[in-house]
Amino acid sequence: MIEMIDVWKSYPNGTDALKEINIKIDKSEFVYVVGPSGAGKSTFIKLMYREERPSKGQIFLNGYNVEKMKEKQIPKLRRSIGVVFQDYKLLPRLNVYENIAFAMEVVEAPRKLIRTRVMEMLDLVKLKHKLRALPSELSGGEQQRVSIARALVNNPQTIIADEPTGNLDPETSWEIMKIFEEINLRGTTVVMATHNREIVNTLRKRVVAIEAGRIARDQVRGDYGYED
């Protein structure tokens, strides 16, 4: 479960990235976050795993009070979430296999389990043949798939994805969406910021539109609603 209560985010230069955000996302929900570039989608996403901090307001996620929690607890919060970062955030000197395995090493999983799970994930994102490649040797789409595999590998309660199909061709995008829908059906909450109108309009889910830092629209089984 994710809940934000009267959350504001302003930057030191005085601009308000987010204003008066109130939202509740239940467990097992699937939510698209849409809106024009620069409207605050990424900031909204980053508040959830505490990469950004709100200027005001409260955030609850998977039972953690994100703003009031002790520093020692932060890793636990982050482990309960799988994040697909917009800029992938792969460790540059680890190969594909090691990057995905890292998320499991962090939770001290046994090596054998790590091996089987990572191979499963590589299979899922169709990168088995590149397991020894470094991120710098991959295309944008391939790096994005590694980031997705890493987000999924620990079976997190919540998946938060910032433009997970931004660099993928339509075919791969749909494969990734199938994976998201599959894990969502198994009970994982999915929050996904996207610009992909085709996906939003085809795979109908709840749509939250953020415009100029405010929630402008919140529809069950909504549509993309913007002309690109």
Residues that bind another protein (CB under 8 A): 49, 51, 72, 75-76, 78-79, 83, 85, 89-93, 102-103, 105-108, 110-111, 150
Pick 68 or 76: Cβ nearer another protein: 76
Q: Measured from the CB of residue 82, what is the shortest distance to another protein in angstroms?
A: 9
Please state, in angstroms and as integers, the Cα–Cα distance from residue 222 to each residue in 48, 79, 196, following that order: 23, 30, 14
Our CB check for another protein shows the closer of 112 and 221 to be: 112
Residue 53 beta carbon to another protein: minimum distance, rounded to whole angstroms = 10
- The enclosing H or E element of 215 equals strand 214-219
Cβ proximity to another protein: between 11 and 226 the closer is 11
For another protein, the closer of residues 5 and 91 by Cβ is: 91
Residues ≥6 apart with Cβ < 8 Å to 213: 9, 16, 17, 18, 19, 39, 40
Identify the CA nearest to 164 among candidates 119, 174, 155, 156: 174
Q: How far is the CB of 90 from another protein (least distance, A)?
A: 8
CB nearer to another protein: pick between 137 and 169: 137
According to DSSP, the residues that pair with 215 across neighbouring strands are 210
Q: How far, in Å, are 11, 106, 122, 190 from residue 75 at the CA level?
A: 25, 9, 25, 20
Alpha helix ranges (H) inside the chain: 41-48, 74-79, 96-106, 111-124, 140-152, 170-185, 197-202
Q: Which two tokens stand for residue 47?
A: 């508040």
* Closest approach of another protein to the CB of residue 125, in Å: 17
Q: Please report how close the Cβ of residue 93 comes to another protein at its closest, in angstroms.
A: 5
**Minimum CB–partner distance for residue 79 and another protein (Å):** 4
